[in-house]
Chain A
Amino acid sequence: MATKVFMEALSPTMEEGRLVKWLKNEGDAVKSGDTLAEVETDKAIMELVARGDGVLRKRLLGEGETGPVGKLIGVIATAGENIDALVAEAASAASAASAASGAGPAAQVVAKAPDAAGAPSVPRASAEAQGGASPPPPTTVAAAPPPPQAAPPAPPAAPAPGGVGGNGGQVRSSPLARRLASERGLDLSRLQGSGPGGRIIKRDIESAAAAPAAAYAPAPPRAAAAGDFEDIPLTQIRKTIAKRLAESIGPIPTFYLTAEFDLSRVSEMRAAMLEMGDEFKVSINDVLMKAVATALAQHPEVNVHWLGDRIRHHNRVHLGMAVATADGLIVPVIFDADRKRMSEISREARALATLARERKLKPEQYTGSTFSISNLGMFGIEQFTAIINPPETGILAIGAAQDVAVPHGDGYVTRKRLKVTMSCDHRAVDGAVGAAFLQTLRRLIENPLMLVY
């Protein structure tokens, strides 16, 4: 009796898996429980194990290829057993799947799950192979249950080699570990458990808490931060947004948010600092950079990179600043800008701009930014839109500070104001997210004392 090897749901949210590597060759003897292949899920690379004994007769999915959960990707059988029917079944299922992509009225396909976000369809195995007893079902029944022969019940997820998985993807941890982690602001999903079955216990929390600050620094306001970044797998809605909007405006579906900030208090602050001596002089741009870095720290959802199949949330803020040079535009980076004082940012910005103009920037000084700003205010540009520098997902275009008459009581007063326009990559950053970031930025710029809070 042959055993079918299916693409298994190796994580609770897995819809499809990429076969990273076969660990058994065709013709290899396998026993139930043997690891057949490594499969990349939406979360991690997991082991796919054999569910029966025999010989791995056929591999139906190539390395690097992706298959939906439930897809027949291999056959285990005895050496002499005829597996032609099974191989044919897999082939016809594949052709049914490609027919489904045409979505013609006669396509024999039902979706396994609500398909709003482009979930992979599970092909119905060809009716002929099953005896052709039933007529083709109506098309596009989004929520219909999958036909049993096409979608075998997903076998239980294989135990993961860490604390994750096996248990419905839940992180196993002792009650004490959960309490301590919550008290210390540690994210259990980032920890390796040393207890039975990967259970996270007190000693794991203690060693995590004792680890170097860089490795696990609970730096407020980003309490859950660990490491320099965190990759967030794309949710189905995220995938759909990315796909649809890139089709509309591509390849980076950019949208723009413009806001006008009042600079009265920034001006007062700069004047007061200057009164204390020339060494305390900062430019509006310095204040803006400090404010942008601070706002980014408070809005990690904007401080991200789009990596195609996932979104990288950076836990550190590296601010790129566009500098015009005779050769063209270059974007040196102020690393960890959110943790630097305004005076440090000011000094560093000036130094970097000088190096840029002298063409002396080293590569490590102009790579690695997580978000950028571009300022054409000195050219008298009132407002403009800047172009996102991928994989970044946002750039802030800063115009010139201008005196503007604003209504005041029954009359008008003159105020120094500034227009900024944020370009956002809609694949990663939605309008409301960008707007919330600008709201924070406005609060900081209109109340610059908040920058020292």
Chain B
Amino acid sequence: MPLLTYRDALNQALREEMHRDDRVFLMGEEVAVYQGAYKVSKGLLQEFGEMRVVDTPITELGFAGVGVGAAMVGLRPIIEFMTWNFAVLALDQVLNSAAKLFYMSGGQFNIPIVFRGPNGAALQLSAQHSQAFESWLAHIPGLKVVTPGTPYDAKGLLKSAIRDDNPVCFLEGEMLYNTKGEVPEEEYLIPLGQADLKREGDQCSIITNGKMALVAMQAADQLAKDGIHVDVVDLRTVRPMDVAAIKASVEKTNRAVVLEEGWEICGIGTQVVDYIQRECFDSLDAPVVRVHQADTPMPYAKNLERAAKPDVPKTIAAVRKVMYLD
């Protein structure tokens, strides 16, 4: 199976879906001539022309609204935000238009749109450009929220997101674009709302999503050296969330750590823990522990940024804690 970068996997998904359906088009800042701020749209302008790969001014609210309007009249827009930090400017279109129109029009308008872009912290981009937004978006009824952590998942999930008839927020990992993974040559789709058991163990479950799946896998590798074998449940889609997968894993291991990139309060982990206590109460042998970003704006200083981010050592410490090893 070919090894592909996360970036190229996304590029393949865009290309394949644009070939498959000529209603699909890509719009955003620097997506055409510059080939994308992270080169995800490389070669697409040449291949599909400027009617379907459209550069916009720095006007997030405006082009997000154009996308919603295009979706209302039957096109299938993909709106690229240079990062989700900038998409904050467009939230009115995302939450109030895209997420609500199907409901408020009594089902007359479905909005088959994908909002995509990098999410979360990279390196030393400071407080305003290092935020993980999946919990904000997952809060909204009417949106689906997808956070692929590997090239394989990125491709299969983006294709499903483009084919979905509802607004999908597709949150990519800025630090993941260069990561490589196996991606099949033949076409495949990954259904939205389906978690992936990325590693099997029986002593503890690490439940995670997005970029943190990579952190979870690294933590699991190190834990295995100490004879601690954990399940890594990558939610992949955080809304809708795969409760059955969470349940199956926790019922097997009786212990869980929830690892997420964002902040603690009202984060994705709170929802996961809620499902666990409701669905798995009688299977729990220890309180669930969460690993998340420190409850502070992301510091710029390298050492402080490192201290604020969830990482492998913190994840290992959490696993050992729920296993009563420390």
CA distance A70 to B285 in the complex (A): 38
Docked-complex contact B324 and A176, CB < 8 angstroms: no
Considering only residues 272-326 of chain B, those with a C-beta below 8 Å from chain A are: 281-286, 324
B254 contacts which chain A residues (CB < 8 A)? 174, 176, 202
Docked-complex contact B324 and A201, CB < 8 angstroms: yes
The reply to whether the CB of A51 lies closer than 8 angstroms to some CB of chain B is: no
CA distance A179 to B283 in the complex (A): 8
CA distance A176 to B287 in the complex (A): 11
- Evaluate whether A195 and B286 lie within 8 angstroms (CB atoms) in the complex, with A201-B324, A202-B254 already known: yes
CA distance A179 to B280 in the complex (A): 12
Kindly name the residue among A175, A179, A194, A202 whose own CB sees the greatest number of chain B CB atoms within 10 A: A175
A177 contacts which chain B residues (CB < 8 A)? 285
Kindly name the residue among B284, B285, B286 whose own CB sees the greatest number of chain A CB atoms within 10 A: B285
The reply to whether the CB of A196 lies closer than 8 angstroms to some CB of chain B is: yes
In the complex, how many angstroms separate the beta carbon of B191 from the nearest chain A beta carbon?
A: 31
Docked-complex contact A175 and B324, CB < 8 angstroms: no
CA distance A350 to B284 in the complex (A): 55
In the complex, how many angstroms separate the beta carbon of B202 from the nearest chain A beta carbon?
A: 12
For A182, give the chain B residue with the smallest CB separation: B282
CA distance A196 to B326 in the complex (A): 10
Docked-complex contact A201 and B286, CB < 8 angstroms: yes
Task: Pick the residue among B281, B282, B324 that contacts A195 (CB under 8 A).
Answer: B324
Bitwise, A163-183 to B at CB < 8 A (1) or not (0) is: 000000000001111110000
A175 contacts which chain B residues (CB < 8 A)? 281-285
A194 contacts which chain B residues (CB < 8 A)? 324
A195 contacts which chain B residues (CB < 8 A)? 286, 324
In the complex, how many angstroms separate the beta carbon of B324 from the nearest chain A beta carbon?
A: 5
For B286, give the chain A residue with the smallest CB separation: A174
For A194, give the chain B residue with the smallest CB separation: B324
CA distance A178 to B281 in the complex (A): 11
Docked-complex contact B324 and A178, CB < 8 angstroms: no
In the complex, how many angstroms separate the beta carbon of A163 from the nearest chain B beta carbon?
A: 14
Bitwise, B53-70 to A at CB < 8 A (1) or not (0) is: 000000000000000000
CA distance A196 to B324 in the complex (A): 7
In the complex, how many angstroms separate the beta carbon of B248 from the nearest chain A beta carbon?
A: 15
In the complex, how many angstroms separate the beta carbon of B255 from the nearest chain A beta carbon?
A: 9
Kindly name the residue among A176, A178, A179 whose own CB sees the greatest number of chain B CB atoms within 10 A: A176
Considering only residues 41-80 of chain A, those with a C-beta below 8 Å from chain B are: none
CA distance A194 to B323 in the complex (A): 11
Bitwise, B31-65 to A at CB < 8 A (1) or not (0) is: 00000000000000000000000000000000000
Docked-complex contact B324 and A174, CB < 8 angstroms: no
CA distance A202 to B286 in the complex (A): 9
B283 contacts which chain A residues (CB < 8 A)? 175-176, 179
A174 contacts which chain B residues (CB < 8 A)? 254, 284-286
CA distance A176 to B281 in the complex (A): 8
For B277, give the chain A residue with the smallest CB separation: A175
Considering only residues 395-447 of chain A, those with a C-beta below 8 Å from chain B are: none
Interchain residue pairs with CB less than 8 A apart (19): A174-B254, A174-B284, A174-B285, A175-B281, A175-B282, A175-B284, A175-B285, A176-B254, A176-B282, A176-B283, A177-B285, A178-B282, A179-B282, A179-B283, A195-B324, A196-B324, A201-B286, A202-B254, A202-B285
Using CB atoms and an 8 Å cutoff, list the residues of chain A in contact with chain B. 174-179, 194-196, 201-202
Using CB atoms and an 8 Å cutoff, list the residues of chain B in contact with chain A. 254, 281-286, 324
Additional A-B contacts beyond A175-B281, A176-B285 (10; CB < 8 A): A174-B254, A174-B285, A174-B286, A176-B284, A177-B285, A179-B282, A179-B283, A201-B286, A202-B254, A202-B285
